[in-house]
Structures are given as C-alpha cells and as structure tokens.
Structure 1
Amino acid sequence: MPHTPGSYTTSDLSRKSGDIIAEALRHPVTITQRNKPRLVLLNIEDYDRLMRQSDARSAMTLETMPDELFGEFETAVGAYADSDEAGR
C-alpha cells in the first residue's frame, strides 16, 4: 500500500525502524494504524520547541487562585468597572 511522504504504517515501523527514525530526525513522521494517523515521531529539537511554545495557562476557581494572581484579577476587574462607569 503506497503511503504519503513522511507517513508509515505500524508494520513499516516494525520492518524499517532505522530508516524511519533517520527520516524523523530530518522532519516529523506520521505513523498510521488501520489507515488512521496514530503517532508522530519528531526530533528532540522540534519537540522542545513545541513544548516551549505550548500554552501554559491553567484553569482555576477564585478559591484555588493564588493570592498574587487574585490581587491582579481584582485590580483588572476594578479598572474595567471604573472605565465602564466613566463611559456611561
């Protein structure tokens, strides 16, 4: 079965792991299983870059928010309320 460039099946990975790893060092490689993408192999530099760029936001409630962040939140809400009052 032909595959797109940079895409291999799990069977290919078993038979040609050295070639696939060598390719993954140059650019990301997709591993498919039953014709569906399942995994991506990429070099460590690309992985590190993606991790540095990942979104570090987290969800929390007012009760679990750290005091310093809660203070910033209160200040921002107060500034918004003041500007809203001034605009009326």
Structure 2
Amino acid sequence: MPRSGGSYSTSELSRKSGDIIAEALRRPVTITQRNKPRLVLLNIEDYARLVRQSDSRSAGTIETMSDSLFADFESAVEAYAQEDETGRT
C-alpha cells in the first residue's frame, strides 16, 4: 500500500484515506495533485511542535507603534542623521 517517501495523490487519498491517515499519525505524508506536492498531513504533536517553534514576530506600522517606541525610533533616526551629516566630507 504505502509508496516510498509517504507521498500519495489526491485520488489515492479519496480511495485509501484510512490507511493514509494511519500513516500520517506515524510520519508526515505528502499529498500531490497533478504530480506536484500540495498538502502535508501530520499528527497533532508534530503540528504543535512546529507552531511552538515558529517565529512569533509580527509586522506593524508607525501608526500601530506605542508612543514610547515611536519616540525611541525617532531618536534613533535623528542620531543616525546627525552621524551621517558629521561623517560627510
């Protein structure tokens, strides 16, 4: 039943979902569509580990910065500009 590498087509997933899910509980399984990888099935423990390890930083804008962070940012930019002006010849 299992192909090498734990990779199955979407049509195989439809026909053999129970077996494929059982394999995905042991190791990640790739689901392909038109011979291209499209999905990965993995057990919840592996998923939780990936989420914990993921980068939790988020992007923001000047409008969403706190006032104190904006003041620090503004001071750093001004200091850099002063440094640049004094360093020019």
- Fold-level match, TM-score > 0.5? yes
Structure 1 residue ranges without an equivalent (≥5): none
Deviation per CA, 1:28-78: give whole Å up to 9, x if none: 000000000010000000111111111111111222113454466567x38
Which sections of structure 2, spanning at least 5 residues, go unmatched?
A: none
Aligned to 1:66: 66
Distance 1:29 1:61, change over 3 A: same
The within-5 A match list for 1:1-88 is 3-67=3-67, 69-70=69-70, 73=73, 77=76
TM-score, length of structure 1 as denominator length: 0.72
Q: d(CA) in 2 for partners of 1:52 and 1:74?
A: 33
Kindly, what percent of the aligned residue pairs are identical? 72
Aligned residue pairs total 81
- The structure having more radius of gyration, on CA atoms, is 2
Label 1:47 to 1:68 Cα distance change in 2 as closer, same or farther (>3 A). farther
| Deviating 4+ runs (over 4 angstroms) | 71-75
Cα-Cα RMSD: 2.5
